[in-house]
């Protein structure tokens, strides 16, 4: 894609087939597809709190351990079906 000569560049179709663009996730166990009930309940609770409390929780989240953040990230990916980076109600 970065070739100076246009005829030397790969096509759009070829570029989209490149592994860099693939976001395929392989699941070994269907149990992994289930959402953590505690995460769901926390999201429901978070929806109804004030902006000040949300800001305070944002500060607290920054003190989480990497493994805790990774667990939350995996739960988010399960909710983000369209891979938009947003979770719609």
Is 85 among the domain residues?
no
- 21-59 in b/e form (b: 16+ CB < 10 A) is eeeeeeeeeeeeeeeeeebeeeeeeeeeeeeeeeeeeee
Is 48 among the domain residues?
yes
Report the number of distinct structural domains present in the chain: 1
- Tell me which residue of 78, 1, 9 sits closest to 43, measured CA to CA: 78
Question: Rounded to 5 degrees, what are φ and ψ at 33?
Answer: -75, -15
pLDDT reported for residue 31: 55
pTM for the structure as a whole? 0.42
Could you read off the pLDDT of 6-65 as tens digits, one per residue?
888 888 888 777 777 665 544 455 555 677 788 778 877 777 788 888 888 888 888 888
Q: What pLDDT band is residue 82 in, cutting at 50, 70 and 90?
A: confident
The residue segments making up the domain with residue 50 are 6-79
d(CA 13, CA 16): 5
Is 55 among the domain residues?
yes
Is 67 among the domain residues?
yes
């Amino acid at each position: 894609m970065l070739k100076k000569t246009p005829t030397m560049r790969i096509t759009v179709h070829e570029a989209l087939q490149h592994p860099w663009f693939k976001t395929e996730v392989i699941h070994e166990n269907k149990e992994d597809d289930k959402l953590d009930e505690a995460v769901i309940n926390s999201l429901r609770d978070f929806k109804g709190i004030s902006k000040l409390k949300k800001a305070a929780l944002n500060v607290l989240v920054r003190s989480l351990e990497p493994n805790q953040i990774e667990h939350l990230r995996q739960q988010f990916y399960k909710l983000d079906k369209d891979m938009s980076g947003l979770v719609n109600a």
